């Protein structure tokens, strides 16, 4: 938008800094005329920005640095915010906003600090002023002086690079910083594969510009095709002229025959009628010739040309009807199945597969119509597969037998359906599809079996989980199952459910530290029994704990406590047998020697040896 005032200072057009999502399209310092008499003129800065990013912009923040005539900074406007209703790609904004500055302002510079996009994306800039104006574009006509080569470049651009003929090749394709500049004149970001305006990729247009030999080859092919087309048109014109000549000769011959017959009749009439006939017959002959040529050739040829044009414009049904009206004129009859066949191809490319099949079925004898029917069904099946409707896709693909890569996609359908069944915990269905997948997908499905089994196991249904685990034969996956069991066992340990944990550790065998965890469980169960004064059970568990921590030392202390407990319960003989095993332990020895009950119930009855008569190495600790 051009200013309606005389600018005091202007930025260069299209300033850009690397990675910035916008161009500073223009910037101007101007002075407003006050509306009131006593008011002072106010200097203003107006900036226009152009979004060159695919993301819509909602806000922009900048620093404005103002300088006087001596290029000394007089003021700085910090974090000036531009709120944007939503500026899409290539849209401009800011031209309606003005920033007031001081009277001393003579010039200014801009640093874009931050840009916010629709959503949560943000681009962060800096306080740097290094925004440079983009160089002027070099016209393509200056770079390619040969007019034929220039025309060929533009022709290749329209037909093979741009989308649907969008844009024109005007400038030399080039790069600037992290941008690339399309031949159509538009600016694109480094990460954009195709021009947002015309759809052309950068590399092909640059390669064609730099490779003049390739461009010359394209020009030679074009001129050859053009020459062939001209020659074809010349031959067609000669053919039509020859047909017209022959038709005229035939009409003349018939007219001459009629004339001679008429002369014979005229001789029998009066002389005055002879004069009349000699004048009128030549006129009638000429009219007859014209009518014959008009009816037999000119009118049908015009209709034929119209039908051919309809066919080229994809008006297939109209072309079929027009060729049908021409009946036997030229190759009209042969053009009817051609038109239907081409309609089938057109519908196929438009992905109207069912309609295309119906058309091809109407011309089964024409060229490869039967093959094209299979191609339509194949492409429809692939489209169904891409949509995620794997059951329908599988049914369609299985009907195509060995066509193209049908087998690959059938296997893929089985894989996807199998994975869906695993997710839905439909193991029976999953197994049916598992049998049909290849080795690579089989490993993926085994991984899914493993994960599903772990999920079910962790939910508490081990029998069902085992159904999945039984299908896992891949060596690399087995540790995951062991790890799941191990984690569950450790959770039982934390919950002091030692029997459940023991059962799992025993199953795991030598996995990780399972043997140690089994010893630990016996040790913990022994501690629990000891706390409950169930010394018999505690002794049994400490014995099973083996060398875990101080289990063996615990046995000696616990046997002493157990012997005392039995003695207090009046089970003197049982107490004696327990204490006798640790008789070299001083407290036990002392108790065995000093307790009269042992004399009454043990020694006097010769139940066991007399400690007084043994030589023992007594332990006092």
pLDDT in tens, 296-310: 557 788 889 988 999
> Which residue(s) pair with 16 in the sheet?
132
Please report the pLDDT score of residue 1 as a whole number.
42
Measuring CA to CA, which residue among 256, 263, 241 is closest to residue 289?
256
Please report the pLDDT score of residue 616 as a whole number.
43
Per DSSP, the three-state class of 530 is helix
Please report the pLDDT score of residue 390 as a whole number.
93
Whole-number Å distance between alpha carbons of 203 and 208 = 9
Please report the pLDDT score of residue 4 as a whole number.
57
Find the range with the poorest average confidence among 98-102, 190-194, 444-448.
190-194
* Higher per-residue confidence, 221 vs 230: 221
Measuring CA to CA, which residue among 310, 395, 107, 384 is closest to residue 414?
395
pLDDT in tens, 45-66: 999 999 999 999 999 999 999 9
Whole-number Å distance between alpha carbons of 380 and 352 = 9
Please report the pLDDT score of residue 607 as a whole number.
54
Whole-number Å distance between alpha carbons of 437 and 428 = 15
CB burial string 196-225: b at 16+ within 10 A, e below: bbbebbbeebbebbeeeeebeebbeeeeee
What radius of gyration do the chain's Cα atoms show?
Answer: 50
Whole-number Å distance between alpha carbons of 246 and 28 = 78
Please report the pLDDT score of residue 258 as a whole number.
81
Report residue 484 CA to chain centroid gap: 34
pLDDT at 291 over 70: no
Question: Average pLDDT, whole number, for the chain?
Answer: 86
pLDDT in tens, 164-223: 667 789 999 999 998 999 998 899 998 889 998 899 999 999 999 999 999 999 999 999
Whole-number Å distance between alpha carbons of 469 and 507 = 14
pLDDT above 90: percentage of residues in the chain: 51
pLDDT in tens, 413-434: 999 999 999 999 999 999 999 9
Please report the pLDDT score of residue 289 as a whole number.
55
Instruction: Say which residue the tokens 């199953």 belong to.
Output: 507
Find the range with the poorest average confidence among 183-197, 355-369, 527-541, 595-609.
595-609
Please report the pLDDT score of residue 55 as a whole number.
93
Whole-number Å distance between alpha carbons of 142 and 77 = 44
Alpha helices by DSSP H, 89-211: 140-143, 147-156, 202-210
Q: Are 376 and 360 in contact (CB under 8 A)?
A: yes
Q: How confident is the model at residue 365 (pLDDT cuts 50, 70, 90)?
A: confident
Measuring CA to CA, which residue among 360, 369, 404 is closest to residue 385?
404
Please report the pLDDT score of residue 294 as a whole number.
54
Whole-number Å distance between alpha carbons of 515 and 508 = 9
Q: Are 579 and 551 in contact (CB under 8 A)?
A: no
pLDDT in tens, 553-565: 889 889 999 999 9
Whole-number Å distance between alpha carbons of 44 and 99 = 5
Please report the pLDDT score of residue 521 as a whole number.
94
Per DSSP, the three-state class of 64 is strand
pLDDT in tens, 470-509: 888 888 888 889 999 899 889 998 898 989 899 898 988 8
How many residues appear in the chain? Answer: 621
Q: Are 175 and 185 in contact (CB under 8 A)?
A: no
- pTM assigned to the model: 0.44
Whole-number Å distance between alpha carbons of 425 and 431 = 11
């Amino acid at each position: 938008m051009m200013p309606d005032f005389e600018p005091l200072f202007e930025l260069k057009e299209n300033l850009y800094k690397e990675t910035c999502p916008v161009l500073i399209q223009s910037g101007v310092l101007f002075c407003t005329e006050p509306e009131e008499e006593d008011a002072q003129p106010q200097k203003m800065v107006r900036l226009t920005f152009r979004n060159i990013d695919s993301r819509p912009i909602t806000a922009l923040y900048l620093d404005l640095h103002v300088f006087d005539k001596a290029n000394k900074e007089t003021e700085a406007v910090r974090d000036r915010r531009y709120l944007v209703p939503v500026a899409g790609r290539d849209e401009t904004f800011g031209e309606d906003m003005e920033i007031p500055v001081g009277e001393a302002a003579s010039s200014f510079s801009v640093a874009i600090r931050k840009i916010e996009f629709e959503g949560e994306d943000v681009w962060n800039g800096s306080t740097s002023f290094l925004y440079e104006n983009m160089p002027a574009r070099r016209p393509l006509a200056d770079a390619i002086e040969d007019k034929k080569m220039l025309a060929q470049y533009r022709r290749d651009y329209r037909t093979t690079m741009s989308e649907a003929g969008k844009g024109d090749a005007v400038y030399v394709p080039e790069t600037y910083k992290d941008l690339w500049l399309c031949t159509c004149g538009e600016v694109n970001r480094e990460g954009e594969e195709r021009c947002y305006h015309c759809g052309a990729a950068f590399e092909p247009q640059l390669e064609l510009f730099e490779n003049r030999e390739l461009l010359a080859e394209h020009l030679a092919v074009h001129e050859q095709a053009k020459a062939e087309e001209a020659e074809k048109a010349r031959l067609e014109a000669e053919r039509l002229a020859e047909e017209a000549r022959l038709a005229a000769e035939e009409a003349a011959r018939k007219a001459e025959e009629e004339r001679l017959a008429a002369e014979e009749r005229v001789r029998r009439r009066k002389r005055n009628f002879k004069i009349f006939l000699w004048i009128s017959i030549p006129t009638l002959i000429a009219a007859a010739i014209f009518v014959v040529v008009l009816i037999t050739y000119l009118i049908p040829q015009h209709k034929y040309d119209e039908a051919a044009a309809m066919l080229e414009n994809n008006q297939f049904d109209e072309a079929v009807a027009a060729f049908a009206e021409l009946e036997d004129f030229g190759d009209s009859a042969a053009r009817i199945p051609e038109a239907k066949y081409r309609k089938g191809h057109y519908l196929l490319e438009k992905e109207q597969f069912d309609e295309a099949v119906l058309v091809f079925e109407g011309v089964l004898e024409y060229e490869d119509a039967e093959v094209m029917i299979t191609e339509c069904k194949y492409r429809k099946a692939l489209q169904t597969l891409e949509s995620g409707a794997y059951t329908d896709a599988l049914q369609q693909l299985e009907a195509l037998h060995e066509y193209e890569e049908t087998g690959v996609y059938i296997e893929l359908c089985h894989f996807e359906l199998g994975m869906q069944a695993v997710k839905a915990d439909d193991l029976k269905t999953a197994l049916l599809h598992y049998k049909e997948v290849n080795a690579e997908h089989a490993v993926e499905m085994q991984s899914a079996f493993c994960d599903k089994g772990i999920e079910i196991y962790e939910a508490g249904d081990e029998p069902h989980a085992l159904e999945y685990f039984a299908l896992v034969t891949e060596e690399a996956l087995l540790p995951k199952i062991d790890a799941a069991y191990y984690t569950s066992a450790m959770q039982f340990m934390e919950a002091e459910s030692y029997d459940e944990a023991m059962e799992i550790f025993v199953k795991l065998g030598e996995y990780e530290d399972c043997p140690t965890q089994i010893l630990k469980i016996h040790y913990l169960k022994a501690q629990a029994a000891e706390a409950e004064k169930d010394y018999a059970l505690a002794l049994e568990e400490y014995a099973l704990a083996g060398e875990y921590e101080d289990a063996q030392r615990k046995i000696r202390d616990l046997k002493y406590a157990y012997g005392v407990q039995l003695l207090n319960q009046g089970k003197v003989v049982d107490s004696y047998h327990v204490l006798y095993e640790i008789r070299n332990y001083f407290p036990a020895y002392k108790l065995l020697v000093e307790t009269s009950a042992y004399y009454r119930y043990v020694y006097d009855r010769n139940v066991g040896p007399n400690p007084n008569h043994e030589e023992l190495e007594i332990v006092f600790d």
